[in-house]
Chains A and B, each alone.
Chain A
Amino acid sequence: GESVGLHLPTLSVQEGDNSIINCAYSNSASDYFIWYKQESGKGPQFIIDIRSNMDKRQGQRVTVLLNKTVKHLSLQIAATQPGDSAVYFCAEKYQGGSEKLVFGKGTKLTVNP
């Protein structure tokens, strides 16, 4: 069915390390991808997005990589901090038609001090 999956449900890293969160998507017709961070009891918060005509985009401490050949998306967080601990979701938008986002199940990132 339509879904965006994740390779790992949990990820634990040491403060200061770099984190990589992976996401596999199934719809080759998707033209837009987005990463959200969700802390307990809060709504998802935008981190970074990328269009399908790009393969890399950088923000502040974050980089998103898109590999359309293998339908893989990753989020890299540099110098991970305790405040980065949260659940991270990738989501995709299908080309044309509805602007709905299709979310994966999420990866829980824990940053150890």
Chain B
Amino acid sequence: GAGVSQSPRYKVAKRGQDVALRCDPISGHVSLFWYQQALGQGPEFLTYFQNEAQLDKSGLPSDRFFAERPEGSVSTLKIQRTQQEDSAVYLCASSPRAAGSYEQYFGPGTRLTVT
């Protein structure tokens, strides 16, 4: 079946612009996660949802970052007033929360470049 999809795949924004990144999880997956991956680093957790409830947003670096999943399916990560340090790949993952496994299925990511 279809995997996790993300759009756009690439985004170039001028410093100060707002951006919105979209994630379509695997159908039926309860949990949805956002990670930020800097060049040459491992993914770093931003936030996650269980259905439409945002259960952990401890990784969001500032109040410029906002995520939502209003109907428990598609999610949007919004970054306001982008800064150069926001340049990274933003990964979305979903998980079925099957008993005993916390495996997360990742999308291809959105590469954000702030100029």
Contact = CB atoms under 8 A, between A and B. Distances in A.
Report, as a range, how many residues of chain B touch the other chain: 20 to 34
B100 A51 contact: yes
B76 to A, nearest CB: 18
A101 B45 contact: yes
Interface stretch (A11-19, A68-76, A78-86, A103-111): A103-111
Given A98-B58, A100-B56, A100-B59, A105 B41 contact: yes
Contacts of A105: 40-42
A43 B55 contact: no
A98 B42 contact: no
A37 to B, nearest CB: 11
Interface residues of A, number: 25
B84 to A, nearest CB: 22
Interface string A27-69: 0000010101000011111100101000000000000000000
Interface in B69-92: 91
B103 A34 contact: yes
B106 A45 contact: yes
A43 B107 contact: yes
A102 B45 contact: yes
A101 B102 contact: yes
Interface of A: 4, 32, 34, 36, 41-46, 49, 51, 89, 91, 93, 97-106
19 contacts: A4-B42, A32-B102, A34-B103, A34-B104, A41-B108, A43-B4, A43-B108, A44-B43, A49-B103, A93-B102, A98-B55, A99-B97, A100-B56, A100-B58, A100-B59, A101-B43, A103-B44, A105-B42, A106-B42
Given A42-B108, A46-B104, 10 more contacts: A43-B106, A43-B108, A44-B91, A91-B42, A99-B31, A99-B102, A100-B48, A100-B58, A101-B33, A102-B45
5 residue pairs, one from A and one from B, having the closest CB atoms = A103-B42, A43-B106, A100-B45, A98-B56, A44-B106
